[in-house]
A = this chain, B = another copy of it.
């Protein structure tokens, strides 16, 4: 086997996003045991940092030991038991994935669809949840396959107090405003490799006290032992003197997240949201000038992840290969119905800066010629 010598890439795809040197360096710090007093302090810091980023006071806030999809699996499998009604908004790949995960958890899944590129109707979600006495309503805040922002802030008032509200914040956390407590969210999960700008591998999650109680009152055990909140609580309950071993935490990845959160908090959440918003608009204006057409309407368009139809006549695979090999720029292709007609460009975390957008906007004319 050869020694690793990865090329430098400008990561402007749908994730992973670029990672600052200090975060990479944190992943190379000497490891300690997962029950070492030093590491328990690191865990407390990480939970506290995540609370700020999620805008929540939830005690149960921590990084699950898997990628964003493990976060989805954790949130869904803990909240639903076989037979529970789960209403889910589906307007892209990740809503569809949530529906699939919920089926495997045994839920009776009722999808509220919207065309790819549009937000799911808040009224239809609320009406469906009421009609079917939903236990849980699940929605995707930032649909990575379409660049659509779901207006989560409208949901709780429309739903009323009853159903548990589960939100996929994989591509939103740290990039656009999310207010877990103020918006009445009961379970929320994310990934590290998007707007937090930390390598993939961990899934920040947060559960409201109401959600924690619902999980504690389940009649059947959670189908996933690895992601069982009742078991993990004993390890992640912060400030706890006697943390109980559940599984060996991924020490180096948590070091990386620790440093990543330090950078997020040093910048400040509102500044960070503004930076993503400014860079996204700048990129989108530039793409439109090059003949691209935005998938999402302006009022529901994400700044950090842009899905855009490329001009007629572009050779999709060839153009993206040229971007990668000649310009060291990674962007993403379209998924599902958007394959072959849409590009996805991420300006996330450390990558959300005009010089990155300019680099891409300058390279595109050469590769689509």
Contacts and interface: CB of A to CB of B under 8 A. Distances in A.
Nearest to A221: B104
A221 to B, nearest CB: 6
Contacts of A24: 27-31, 252
A97 interface: yes
B32 A6 contact: yes
Contacts of A7: 30, 32, 38
A80 B178 CA distance: 40
A147 interface: no
A304 to B, nearest CB: 16
Contact of A223 (B16, B105, B265, B330): B105
- For chain A, which range describes its interface: under 10, 10 to 19, 20 to 34, or 35 or more residues? 35 or more
Interface in A88-123: 97, 100-101, 103-105
A319 B237 CA distance: 26
Interface string A44-74: 0100110000000000000001111110110
Nearest to A259: B4
B73 A201 contact: no
Given A104-B221, A250-B200, A31 B4 contact: no
Interface string A215-238: 000000111111000000000000
A188 interface: no
A33 B323 CA distance: 13
Given A67-B247, A104-B221, 14 more contacts: A1-B48, A6-B29, A7-B30, A7-B38, A24-B27, A34-B200, A69-B246, A70-B247, A72-B226, A97-B225, A103-B221, A199-B251, A252-B256, A253-B253
Interface of A: 1-9, 11, 13, 15-16, 19, 24-34, 36-39, 42, 45, 48-49, 65-70, 72-73, 97, 100-101, 103-105, 191, 193, 199-201, 221-226, 245-253, 255-256, 258-259, 261-262, 265, 324, 330, 335
11 contacts: A3-B262, A4-B255, A6-B42, A7-B38, A9-B33, A199-B252, A200-B249, A200-B251, A201-B250, A223-B223, A252-B252
